[in-house]
Amino acid sequence: QQPVQSPQAVILREGEDAVINCSSSKALYSVHWYRQKHGEAPIFLMILLKGGEQKGHDKISASFNEKKQQSSLYLTASQLSYSGTYFCGTASGGSNYKLTFGKGTLLTVNP
């Protein structure tokens, strides 16, 4: 089952914050976040493992609520370089060796 991402698209001005959500109908083992710019390969941002951890990376952080089967990606003080499509990939564990990706959230940061 494909995770559901929201919103589908968001437009920001430089310096504004954004939150992207990823919800699954299945129990999750891990959540992976990627950013893809037009015409380029998806770039890894971070992995969160079950345990409800939160991770940070410069001004981009994420949380993982195992109970709610949700993850959120937080982008603070957005920069022009943050523009792109953000994907969450989820894994359910059990040696499935598979990530299931959401349809993506298109983030546009304007000057």
Site for another protein (CB under 8 A): which residue of 7, 9, 98, 110?
98
Amino acid at 99: L
Which residue of 69, 75, 102, 107 would you call a contact of another protein, by CB under 8 A?
102
Q: Name the residue nearer to another protein (CB basis): 72 or 90.
A: 90
Cα 71 to Cα 62: distance, rounded to the nearest angstrom? 7
- Three-state DSSP at 94 gives coil
101 binds another protein (CB under 8 A): yes
For the segment 56-85, give every residue that binds another protein (CB under 8 A). none
Nearest C-alpha neighbor of 82 from the set 101, 107, 64: 107
For residues 78 and 109, the answer to whether their CB atoms sit within 8 Å is yes
Q: Given the rule CB under 8 A, which residues bind another protein?
A: 2, 29-30, 32, 34, 40-44, 47, 49, 87, 89, 91-93, 95-104
